[in-house]
Amino acid sequence: MMPAALKGSAIKPKLEWPTVAVSVKSVNMVYDGVHAVRSASFDLETGKFLTILGPSGSGKTTLLRLIAGFQRPTSGEIFINGAAVSAVPPHKRSIGMVFQKLALFPHMTAAENVAFPLKMRRSDARAIPARVERYLDMVRLGGYGTRRVHELSGGQQQRVAIARALVFEPDLLLLDEPLAALDRKLREEMQLEFRRIQRELGVTTINVTHDQREALVVSDEIIVMDGGQIQQKARPSETYRTPSNAFVANFIGVTNFLDAPDGERRAIRAEKIRIAPTRNGLVGADTIVEGIVADAIFEGERVVYEVRVASLGDTLLRVFDHDPSAHSQLEPGSAVYLGWTAGDVLEFKP
């Protein structure tokens, strides 16, 4: 559908058919008897930022290493820009990769690290210095070229790794949880940095992480993996609002399951439950239950309650109260009412 602003106007949107940059077709990976990736298939459009999200052992890193070419799939095929690559070694693929531990070369300066792929790909030696400087500028490290890797801070090392992975203008950028080791503030800063650079260059990117917040913040699309299988591939808002199954709902966001784990499952997000000391405070709710506050955790911008609900089999429901000023904070032990609207209930087939 055309954006509203263009409807009826003379300006036609530029027709640019999406081309597929990466295509994974029923890829399986078995090693040492472990089925690490099970019949994984997906397409990724050129220029998109995809995040593969999953807990450790979900097969997300294996899938990334298969795309990078460090391992060959047991069966299935991977296409990059239309060409089958399973038989192509990593150094002949046009892929920039930022590794979990960055893998910067410690015996080289920042600039030498960035120049390395250009030298290995036999670029014109005279053009290399200017190009390296341009990419160091892009990651805001202009003037840091002569520093050795160990003279740089963690964040600066991240930036060198990004510049090194992008300087040869690869078809594809792979990020193997490079932010996992950073402290939270720096991690969030680098997430936005990744997003900025990716948009600036328009390079197709696949990011692997177990951090659901990072996936929601940086991605155009999210693939959720568990047990070697792709559970859902969707845009971030879609993944959050309409998770395709109970695993996805549980992995992204805080979700309360309202009934027994067998049979059709119903769930509600913690922020969709309203809490009030009286029934009158929940006008408009379709379902109202009674409960006892088991714990109240003050987190600054919100209060997280754990409420024991006898009518739901004595389960603990987690509730985010983003406006505790409406009533004073409810103390543990106090009787409360929880309410939600029918439209907010998520339903999953077993």
Does 178 help bind another protein (rule: CB under 8 A)?
Answer: no
Q: How many CB atoms lie within 10 A of CB 45?
A: 15
Distance between CA 120 and CA 50 in Å, rounded? 28
Going by their DSSP bridges, the two strands 75-80 and 229-234 should be labelled as unpaired
* Alpha-helix residue ranges (DSSP H) falling in 210-267: 212-218, 236-241, 246-251
Tokens in use for 337? 């009412």
Which listed residue (95, 152, 163, 293) binds another protein by CB under 8 A?
A: 95
Distance of CA 56 to the CA centre of its chain: 14
Choose, by CB under 8 A, the member of 20, 30, 88, 103 that binds another protein: 103
CA distance 135 to 162: 9
Residue 298 touches another protein, criterion: CB under 8 A:
no
Apex CA 190: angle with CA 120 and CA 161, to 5°? 15
Residues in binding contact with another protein, number by CB under 8 A: 25
* Interaction of residue 135 with another protein, rule CB under 8 A: no
Whole-number minimum distance, CB 116 to another protein, in Å? 6
Among residues 36, 19, 22, the alpha carbon closest in space to that of 85 is found at 22
The reply to whether 96 sits near another protein by the rule CB under 8 A is yes
Residue 68 in the binding site for another protein (CB under 8 A):
yes
Pick from 97, 258, 293, 338: which binds another protein (CB under 8 A)? 97
Stretch that binds another protein, among 64-72, 182-190, 231-239, 254-262 (CB under 8 A): 64-72
Residue nearer to another protein on the CB measure, 6 or 181: 181
Task: Name the minimum Å distance from CB 121 to another protein.
Answer: 4
In the complex, minimum distance from the CB of residue 70 to another protein, in angstroms, rounded to a whole number: 6
The whole-angstrom separation of Cα 177 and Cα 18 is 27
Interface residues toward another protein, by CB under 8 A:
68-70, 89-91, 93, 95-97, 99-101, 103, 105-107, 116-117, 120-121, 150, 164-165, 168
